[in-house]
């Protein structure tokens, strides 16, 4: 009897996206889901109550960090990780593998396990599949991960193949080491070899796990390859178990992962970027440090209904960031997590309504157009050419241009585009074309300061 139960509610007919429900000892999760990362028994800058308000249903904690400090045995004596950190919902713990392998020169791998030096004090430690499970059992997470080797990218094929075989042997040892019945255990297939490692995938499934994860993505490879690996791998995972892509990613990566048929994701991007002043919006990323926000009375994203966007201006958030205030990290983190978790909610809705392909297309279009605009801007800047309305480009069947005249009152956007969708063909600010539910004509009626 598994500690968790996965109910595959529906697979989108327009894509590979799956809608599911995962029941754990600490509550039910709707999938696809994003898991905020709480490395040191806290999702940085957030309280558990705020995580719930931002939409979090499950969080991830890092086995390596908690083993090092405060120590898994201490956490166990204090009643386990949930009680220790005052988080009532489900927790997934990684295996510590990724952190240990990222220590580089400080670690040595053998069949038995990994010997390494602490990043805190240089002391020597040893983690094997058995100790990784023991640590995760002491922490008391709802979902444990098998201890795996993460080969670097790029790596020699022969090395990767050998590594994958060992990871599979380690997976069996993890399963055998697992004592309790109230924690689930996921197996891991390393992504870099995912195209060829049919034998390992089969071996993993024969061992039998409560869920399966794709590892070794987002380790330095190009995005296109990451997306390819996800698309190639998903069909080989069992239909009736949750599928988890480890360590990704940017919002567009999550959309691609869902499209490929994955259910669970985690990444430090929303939290880490927030602390560096980068916030996600429905019209692209925004760096709150920018001088253009100095007197901007708008919220980060006028379309967003999170606590931060309901109460604080970009000008204030910029001031907090420049002043090094803790509240800057708090509010940016809150907003970014809300963005990620709302994106997952929208994706689930789109799957439920059997229109994920369209949802993804629209999302990707935004992303594409932003990339194009960014490139245009960089090209112009490099060429030291003045941006005027005389410049215009056609890209992916859309005409783009720059307007010297009025700017969008919401986003400050000064780019125009001509809508390629018949029968619209209206010209308007790019931000509206891309992201706003408001009709473009509303903006256009204010004047046409450019010639298309």
Q: Closer CB to its own copies, residue 20 or residue 36?
A: 36
Number of neighbours of residue 71 by Cβ within 10 angstroms: 13
Is residue 108 a contact residue for its own copies (CB under 8 A)?
Answer: no
Helix (H) or strand (E) holding 186: strand 184-190
3-class DSSP state of 14: coil
> What would the x/- binding string for its own copies be over residues 23 to 42, using CB under 8 A?
-----------------xxx
**Among the listed residues 153, 232, 236, 312, the single contact to its own copies using CB under 8 A:** 312
Shortest reach from residue 330's CB to its own copies, in Å: 7
Residue whose CB is less far from its own copies, 262 or 316: 316
| Helix (H) / strand (E) containing 428 | strand 427-429
| Terminal Cα distance for the chain, rounded | 65
Non-local (6+) Cβ contacts of 82 within 8 A are: 26, 88, 91, 140
Tell me how far, at minimum, the Cβ of 269 lies from its own copies, in Å. Answer: 17
CB-based burial, 339-349: b 16+ in 10 Å, e otherwise: bbbbbbeebbe
94 or 192: whose CB is closer to its own copies? 94
Q: Which is nearer to its own copies, 86 or 195 (CB)?
A: 86
Q: Does 326 bind its own copies (CB under 8 A)?
A: yes
Check: CB of residue 264 under 8 Å from CB of residue 242: yes
Residue (of 348, 268, 339) closest to 308 by Cα position: 339
Task: Let me know if 210 is a catalytic residue.
Answer: no
Least separation in angstroms between CB 53 and its own copies: 11
Three-state DSSP state, 220: coil
Candidate residues 202, 225, 239, 294; the one interacting with its own copies per rule CB under 8 A: 294
Number of Cβ within 10 Å of residue 162's Cβ equals 13
* Least gap, CB of 22 to its own copies (angstroms): 26
By CB under 8 A, tell whether 311 contacts its own copies.
Answer: yes
- Between residue 330 and residue 349, which ones bind its own copies under the rule CB under 8 A? 330
- Which 8-state DSSP code applies to residue 37? B
Cα separations in angstroms, 397 against 202, 388, 393, 420: 44, 21, 10, 6
- Residues 357-376 interacting with its own copies (rule: CB under 8 A): none
Contact 137, 144 (CB under 8 A): yes
Window contacting its own copies (CB under 8 A); options: 305-313, 335-343, 377-385, 408-416: 305-313
Q: Which two tokens stand for residue 185?
A: 């255990």
Rounded distance, CA 288 to CA 291, Å? 8
Q: What is the DSSP string of 272-318?
A: HHHHTTEEEETTEEEETT-GGGTT--S-S-TT--SHHHHH--HHHHH
Q: How far is the CB of 292 from its own copies (least distance, A)?
A: 14
By rule CB under 8 A, what string of x and - marks binding of each residue 56-95 to its own copies? -------------xx---x--xxx----xxx---------
Range in contact with its own copies (rule: CB under 8 A) among 100-108, 151-159, 319-327, 414-422: 319-327
Taking CB under 8 A as the criterion, the residue among 155, 315, 357, 380 binding its own copies is 315
**Secondary structure letter of residue 20 according to DSSP:** E
Per the residue annotation, which of 192, 210, 263, 266 is the catalytic one?
266
Please confirm, yes or no, whether 156 is among the known catalytic residues: no
Q: Does 290 bind its own copies (CB under 8 A)?
A: no
Does residue 278 belong to the site contacting its own copies (CB under 8 A)?
A: no
Residue of the chain from 319, 365, 438, 444 that contacts its own copies (CB under 8 A): 319
Asked if 295 interacts with its own copies (CB under 8 A), we say yes
- Interaction of residue 274 with its own copies, rule CB under 8 A: no
> Phi/psi at 184 (nearest 5 deg)?
-90, 160
User: Which residue lies nearer to its own copies by CB, 304 or 369?
Assistant: 304
Active site residues: 94, 266
Residues forming contacts to its own copies in the complex (CB under 8 A) are: 40-42, 44-47, 69-70, 74, 77-79, 84-86, 294-295, 297, 311-313, 315-316, 318-320, 322-323, 325-327, 329-330
């Amino acid at each position: 009897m598994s500690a968790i139960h996965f109910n595959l509610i529906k697979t989108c007919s327009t894509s590979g996206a799956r809608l599911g429900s995962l029941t754990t000892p600490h509550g039910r999760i709707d999938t696809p889901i994003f898991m905020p990362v709480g490395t040191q028994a806290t999702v940085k800058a957030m309280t558990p109550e705020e995580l719930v308000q931002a939409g979090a249903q499950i969080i991830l904690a890092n086995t390596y960090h908690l083993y090092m400090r405060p120590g898994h045995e201490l956490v166990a004596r204090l009643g386990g990780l949930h009680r220790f950190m005052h988080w009532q919902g489900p927790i997934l713990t990684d295996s510590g593998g990724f952190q240990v392998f990222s220590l580089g020169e400080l670690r040595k791998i053998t069949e038995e396990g990994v010997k390494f030096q602490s990043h805190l004090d240089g002391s020597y430690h040893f983690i094997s599949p058995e100790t990784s499970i023991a640590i995760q059992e002491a922490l008391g997470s709802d979902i444990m991960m098998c201890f795996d080797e993460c080969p670097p990218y790029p790596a020699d094929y022969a090395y990767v193949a050998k590594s994958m075989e060992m990871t599979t042997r380690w997976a069996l040892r993890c399963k055998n080491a697992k004592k309790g019945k109230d924690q689930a255990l996921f197996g891991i297939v390393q992504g870099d070899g995912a195209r060829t490692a049919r034998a390992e995938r089969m071996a993993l499934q024969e061992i039998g796990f409560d869920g399966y994860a794709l590892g070794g993505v987002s380790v330095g490879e190009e995005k296109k390859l990451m997306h390819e690996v996800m698309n190639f791998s998903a069909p080989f995972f069992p239909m009736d178990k949750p599928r988890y892509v480890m360590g990704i990613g940017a919002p567009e990566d999550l959309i691609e992962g869902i499209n490929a048929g994955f259910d669970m994701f985690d990444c430090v991007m929303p939290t880490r970027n927030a602390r560096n002043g980068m916030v996600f919006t429905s019209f692209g990323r925004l760096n709150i440090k920018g001088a253009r926000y100095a007197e901007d009375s708008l919220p980060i994203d006028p379309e967003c209904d999170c606590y931060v966007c309901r109460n604080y201006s970009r000008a204030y958030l910029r001031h907090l960031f420049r002043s090094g205030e803790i509240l800057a990290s708090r509010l940016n983190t809150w907003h970014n997590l809300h963005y990620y978790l709302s994106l997952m909610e929208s994706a689930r809705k789109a799957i439920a309504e059997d229109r994920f392909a369209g949802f993804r297309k629209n999302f990707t279009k935004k992303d594409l157009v932003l990339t194009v605009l960014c490139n245009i801007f960089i090209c112009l800047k490099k060429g030291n050419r003045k941006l005027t309305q005389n410049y215009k480009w056609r890209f992916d069947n859309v005409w783009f241009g720059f307007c010297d005249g009025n700017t969008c009152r919401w986003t400050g956007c000064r780019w125009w585009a001509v809508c390629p969708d018949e029968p619209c063909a209206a010209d308007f600010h790019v931000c509206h074309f891309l992201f706003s539910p408001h009709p473009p004509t509303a903006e256009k009626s204010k004047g046409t300061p450019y010639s298309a």
